[in-house]
Amino acid sequence: MKLSKLFLFTTKEFPKDAEIISDKYLRKSNLLVKSHSGFFYYSPLLTRSLHKIRAIIDKEMERAGAQEVLMPILMKKELWEESGRWDNYINAKIMFHLRNRKDVEMCLGPTHEEAFTDFVRRFITSYKQLPIILYQQNTKFRDEIRPRFGLMRTSEFIMKDAYSFDYNQAGLDAAYQTMRAAYKRIFDTIGLHYIIVQADSGAIGGSGSEEFMVTADSGEDTILYCDDCDYAANVEKAESLLDTVIYEETGTAIQKLHTPDIKSVEELVEFTKIPNNQMIKTIIFKMIYEDREKFVAVLMRGDLEINEIKLQNLYDCLEVKKASEEEVVTLTKAQVGFAGPFNLNPEIELIGDHSIKSVKYFLCGLNTTDYHYINVCFGRDIAMPKTYELKLAREHDLCPRCGKQRLKQKMGIEVGHIFKLGTKYSEKMNALILDEAGNKVPMKMGCYGIGTSRIISAAIEQHHDDKGIIWPIAIAPYHITIIPTIDKPGVIIDKAEEIYNKLNDNGFEVLFDDRGVSFGFKMKDAELIGIPYIVVFGKKTVDGLCELTIRKTNQTIEMGIDKLQDFLRDSLNK
């Protein structure tokens, strides 16, 4: 392709609203053009990269035994009501929905579990027809509150979602491992450094959930991991072990302490000189269900935080919210900051995190404004509530698997997520089959997603320098740019065009910068758009020489023009 014919319009400045490097480079080069918030135009160069990503995914899906289908983007409300997810997504305000001229309510698909389940249940009636894996690469829509970071968080995006259907747990486990291996091959082929982490299943549900995280400082997800035992988890899912704290057996009786307008743990530490790990705070949450609300008070050691995702999963509710100041005052008869397990409103369920079980002679609230109790002991002064794993794991906590090493932290970009759905959808949607004994049972399902378009941003976040993008070979829109130093007819232009045609004829993907602009302008564009190899034809062309720059290393090599094709072939095939 000659650049004089290419739909390419680079700019000198970064867009003012671009926050991360991938968005800056994609939009400075106009490979990606913002239409409006959360929606983008893809240029021809970026579309080529997208097609390559899709092709890599297609190849590995076929190798894994998955069959490609295409689902409608618009889906009827009734289908989502069958699964029980319509209200969840409407309440979360992340689903685009509309009514057609027949007043049928529909949604633009944020995900397609319901559609795939409906499709399969129409034809699969016996275990003998299983297993089967179906997938698509399709456009999805989510009404993001704040679309940001270019293709990382958009309202419209391209996703690969696959679904496996089996009749027993062994089949589901096998499909899960098959897809897990396929994902590793996909991201290895693309050239991404990633970590597989334990993850929360979120609104999709199910169990056995893992995320494929591309490590990058700009990532929105926090990963906690252990180098020694390969433990890794998204912070939403992560667990950890705490260092043992020795609480001195003082035998001191419970006392009521006047703490005027002293509410936070930090203020209480300063006022009482009691360490924060010898305090127990009480946080009141509101659990929101489709038809009701429920208040829960959670006891947590003072130096720790509550993981609200774990709390939501424990109660299997639509949403978890901290009780408002007004609700706290109404429920506890005290100002915010003085809630505690004593004299608690019977309408509030009391639970605790496992961390409170070993705390002795602690400080806590008593639901009276400006007062706390100190020297409180479970079993002596108050009963121990049921406890659960609810704390937010932190960097430097002990690894929950090996119990020896400290957890480390990295930021990551989620590019893939796999789930064992089990019967979550098949049971609710009556996707039943006859098993070997002739009994009707729900199919066992798995779900496997890849952010096809998000991979573009993730790849650039890992592969760039201060000049621009450095595309991994596998997804580069073109592999080679040929740049003559002058644009006047003569030996340099003739030889450059001759090599361009020769490389094209031999299957190489080549750009030829024949534009009537300066050499410096051409080089800056080539570096910005990230083509892996830049070949310059200049004064030494008459001596049979050219210069080749490798963008990955910024190494420039002078070589004979007659050696160029073999060098490029060897480099591209590595």
Give a yes or no: residue 444 inside a domain: yes
How large is the angle between the packed helices 44-63 and 454-462, nearest 10 degrees? 100
Spatial distance between the Cα atoms of 161 and 269, rounded to a whole number of angstroms: 50
Give a yes or no: residue 516 inside a domain: yes
Q: Do 106 and 183 lie in a common domain?
A: yes
pLDDT at 486 over 90: no
Domain count along the chain:
3
Give a yes or no: residue 272 inside a domain: yes
Give a yes or no: residue 278 inside a domain: yes
pLDDT at 423 over 70: yes
How would residue 228 be classed by pLDDT, with cut points 50, 70 and 90?
Answer: confident
Q: Do 55 and 182 lie in a common domain?
A: yes
Instruction: Tell me the per-residue pLDDT of 332-344, one tens digit each, with 9 for 90 and over.
Output: 999 999 999 998 9
Tell me, rounded to whole angstroms, the distance of Cα 102 from its chain centroid.
Answer: 37
Select from 431, 460, 489 the last residue of a domain. Answer: 460
Give a yes or no: residue 330 inside a domain: yes
Q: Do 562 and 438 lie in a common domain?
A: no
Domain CATH for 506:
3.40.50.800
Q: Are the C-beta atoms of residues 495 and 537 closer than 8 Å to each other? A: yes
H-assigned helices in 67-168? 77-83, 86-92, 113-121
Q: Do 268 and 299 lie in a common domain?
A: yes
Q: Do 430 and 370 lie in a common domain?
A: no
Give a yes or no: residue 5 inside a domain: no
Q: Do 377 and 494 lie in a common domain?
A: no
Give a yes or no: residue 397 inside a domain: no
| DSSP-derived secondary structure letter, 324 | P
Domain CATH for 381:
3.90.960.10
Q: Do 440 and 509 lie in a common domain?
A: no
Q: Do 427 and 537 lie in a common domain?
A: no
- Sheet strands side by side (includes 533-537): 510-512, 480-484, 533-537, 545-550, 555-560
pLDDT at 201 over 70: no
Q: Do 455 and 306 lie in a common domain?
A: no
Give a yes or no: residue 407 inside a domain: no
Q: Name the nearest CA neighbour of 170 among 159, 162, 178, 161.
A: 178
Instruction: Tell me the per-residue pLDDT of 120-140, one tens digit each, with 9 for 90 and over.
Output: 999 999 999 999 999 999 999
Instruction: Tell me the per-residue pLDDT of 258-306, one tens digit each, with 9 for 90 and over.
Output: 999 999 999 999 999 999 999 999 999 999 988 899 999 999 999 999 9
How would residue 207 be classed by pLDDT, with cut points 50, 70 and 90?
Answer: low
Q: C-alpha dihedral over 249, 254, 260, 265, to 10 degrees?
A: 40
Mean of per-residue pLDDT scores for the chain: 94
Spatial distance between the Cα atoms of 39 and 340, rounded to a whole number of angstroms: 47
Q: Do 383 and 426 lie in a common domain?
A: no
Spatial distance between the Cα atoms of 514 and 477, rounded to a whole number of angstroms: 18
Q: Do 26 and 105 lie in a common domain?
A: yes
Q: Do 182 and 53 lie in a common domain?
A: yes
Instruction: Tell me the per-residue pLDDT of 360-370, one tens digit each, with 9 for 90 and over.
Output: 999 999 999 99
Domain CATH for 85:
3.30.930.10
State the residue range of the domain holding 536. 478-572
How large is the angle between the packed helices 169-190 and 44-63, nearest 10 degrees? 140
Spatial distance between the Cα atoms of 377 and 242, rounded to a whole number of angstroms: 20
SS3 46: helix
pLDDT, position 438: 93
